[in-house]
Amino acid sequence: MTTNNNSNNADPNQPLKNYRVLDLSRIWAGPYCTKLMADMGAEIIKMESLSVYDSHRGPINPARGIAAYPDGEPGDEPWNRNGWFNCLHLNKYGITLELTSETGRNVFDQLVSISDVVIENFRQGSLERLGYSYETLRRLRPDLIYVSMPAFGNSGPWQKYLAYGIGQEQLSGMAHMTGYRGEGPMKSGINHGDPITGSHAAGVLLAALRYRKRTGKGMYIDVSQQESAVSLIGADVLAYQLTGEEPPRRGNRSPYFAPHNSYRCAGEDRWVAIAVTNDEEWRQLAQLVGGPELAGDPRFATLAGRLENEDQLDELISGWTADKKAYDLCHLLQREGVPASPVMGGPDLLADPHYAARGTFVRVNHEQVGEKTYPGIPWKMSATPGQVRWASPTLGQHNRQIYGDLLGMAPGDITALEEQGIIGTKPTGSRII
């Protein structure tokens, strides 16, 4: 699917088409929350400051060759060309506004008064220091839903502390359980804390909007990114209380299934993931790996036996996979009823026939980047499928549209704001972690 930048073709049949979100959130957790809402048709107004724009846009003057830019080329306006930013703000409007001046604050007040939701993930208390708390914002919009998502929530001894998704993997216990056997904990390739919190916040926010529709009541939603992350390892928190034993790091192995690992295949850094979940699947796999002799070997006939001899099994299977292509193995094993999948990298994903058939990824044209592939909408809804309607906004791209069409400001007044540096499209600074 290809969409045109800024086509603005509002889809009338979208669950959230009547909701407006003033989105002050940055980096990933907050933007992922509002991305999910945008995917269902909410009007997301992403507000940034020219001096502290969303740091996911990258530095003002990045080095050349950073692969997040098209062909490694940052271009004249690198903040508009960063792929890591540009995949999280599809379907959103982008404006800039400085809250340091009285004029800017008056404009902000107007934006709040016409918004259903305000969401931010600043460090705890940052917005409050500017005079904006839930209570003050409610005066502008009595049924407002205000989502505040600092790292550790808005109370408690750590409330001022900061953490990124990588830190939440550690502080939630996820990293403790992840790693090669006998070795230390391992971070994930992404930072799971962010999308976990973004999804939790989006779901609860929708429930809160529905509740508001029935009761007229707004709501204060206090998100601790850490609590959100701990919620995903609850079973292990209970297990520890039952046994007194910390969960071990198992690499790719499982206490319930064996063999269960990733195995090297033909090619450079190519791997297949194979998971045997019962005795029948083992016999099918063993037949392929070592013929009837292995399939009939009593040492491996049961899960207990396979767990006991797992090193030997992994060696046997690795020997078998080493000269075969990962995709060929998966088709072969799935035909025999054995769970297997390629360990997919970027090129695999974009070329994969399954994802192509499902339209998992979308092609979107961005005015400064051209047409590129992005992750699409993470669900298929039969009646309200939605679509990616436009690319992530360049910095301040929709200033004229939002301040003019939405707030009804005269073109001259908007120009005045630009001249005073209260809005604009060129950053005056950046802060990059």
Partner 1 sequence: MTTESSNNGSLPGLLEGVRVIDLTHYISGPYCTKLMATLGAEVIKIERPGSGDPIRQFGPALTPTPLPEGEGQKWDGAWFLYLNTSKKSLTLDLGSDAGKDILRSLVSSAQIVVENFAPGTMDKLGLGYSDLEKLNPSLVMTSISNYGQTGPYRDWKATELNLYAAGGLMYITGEPDSEPLKEGAPLAQLGAGQTAFVATMGALMHAEGTCQGQHIDVSITDYATNILENAMMQYSYSGEEYTRVGNRGYGRAAWGIYPCQDGYVGIISGPDTRWPEVAGIMEREELSDPRFASRNGRLINADEVDALMLPWLLDHDKVDIFKAGQEAGLGFGFVATMEDILEMEQLTARDYFVELDHGAAGKLKYPGAPIRTTSSTSPQSPPSQGGEAMGSQSSQEGEAESSPLTTGEPQGGHPTGQAQDHWVYRRAPHLGEHSEEILGVALGHPAAEIARLRDQGVI
Residue holding tokens 């003033």?
22
Q: Is 258 in the site for partner 1 (CB under 8 A)?
A: no
Give dist(CA 318, CA 172) in Å, integer: 34
Give dist(CA 142, CA 218) in Å, integer: 7
Q: Is 86 in the site for partner 1 (CB under 8 A)?
A: yes
DSSP letter (8 states) at residue 181: T
Contact segment (CB under 8 A) with partner 1 among 2-10, 79-87, 285-293, 401-409 equals 79-87
Within 8 A by CB and 6+ apart from 331, the residues are none
Nearest to partner 1 of 76, 293 (CB atom): 76
Name which position in 78, 94, 376, 427 contacts partner 1 (CB under 8 A). 376
Omega of the bond leading into 259 within 30 degrees of 0 (cis): yes
Specify whether the CB–CB gap between 79 and 31 falls below 8 A. Answer: no
List C-alpha distances in Å: 311 to 29, 92, 178, 224, 315: 39, 50, 19, 41, 6
Give dist(CA 367, CA 179) in Å, integer: 42
Alpha helices by DSSP H, 40-144: 83-86, 102-113, 126-129, 134-140
Q: Which of residues 325-354 bind partner 1 (CB under 8 A)?
A: 330, 334, 337-350, 353-354
At closest approach, how far in Å is the CB of 389 from partner 1?
Answer: 16
Q: Which of residues 271-330 bind partner 1 (CB under 8 A)?
A: 271, 273, 275, 277, 330
Nearest to partner 1 of 114, 351 (CB atom): 351
Q: Which of residues 135-194 bind partner 1 (CB under 8 A)?
A: 135-136, 138, 142-143, 148, 150-164, 166-168, 170-180, 184-190, 192
Q: Is 391 in the site for partner 1 (CB under 8 A)?
A: no
In the residue annotation, 39 being an active-site residue is answered as no
Q: Is 414 in the site for partner 1 (CB under 8 A)?
A: no
Q: Is 405 in the site for partner 1 (CB under 8 A)?
A: no
Q: Is 87 in the site for partner 1 (CB under 8 A)?
A: yes
Nearest to partner 1 of 47, 289 (CB atom): 47
Nearest to partner 1 of 15, 305 (CB atom): 15
Q: Is 392 helix (H, G, I), strand (E, B) or coil?
A: coil
Partnered with residue 96 across adjacent β-strands are 48
At closest approach, how far in Å is the CB of 170 from partner 1?
Answer: 4
Name which position in 60, 113, 211, 288 contacts partner 1 (CB under 8 A). 211
Name which position in 21, 90, 119, 201 contacts partner 1 (CB under 8 A). 201
Name which position in 4, 113, 254, 284 contacts partner 1 (CB under 8 A). 254
Judged by CB under 8 A, how many residues of this single chain contact partner 1?
186
Q: Which of residues 95-124 bind partner 1 (CB under 8 A)?
A: 98-100, 121-124
At closest approach, how far in Å is the CB of 411 from partner 1?
Answer: 25
Q: Is 238 in the site for partner 1 (CB under 8 A)?
A: yes
Q: Is 10 in the site for partner 1 (CB under 8 A)?
A: no
Torsions phi, psi for 293 (to 5 deg): -65, -45
Give the alpha-carbon dihedral of 275, 278, 280, 286, to 10 degrees: 40
Within 8 A by CB and 6+ apart from 82, the residues are 56, 57, 58, 68, 69
Name which position in 93, 108, 263, 390 contacts partner 1 (CB under 8 A). 263
Give the alpha-carbon dihedral of 152, 156, 158, 162, to 10 degrees: 30
Specify whether the CB–CB gap between 183 and 155 falls below 8 A. Answer: no
Q: Of these residues, 23, 39, 54, 194, which one is catalytic? A: 194
Nearest to partner 1 of 9, 384 (CB atom): 384
Q: Is 382 in the site for partner 1 (CB under 8 A)?
A: yes
DSSP letter (8 states) at residue 301: S
At closest approach, how far in Å is the CB of 403 from partner 1?
Answer: 18
Q: Catalytic residue numbers?
A: 194
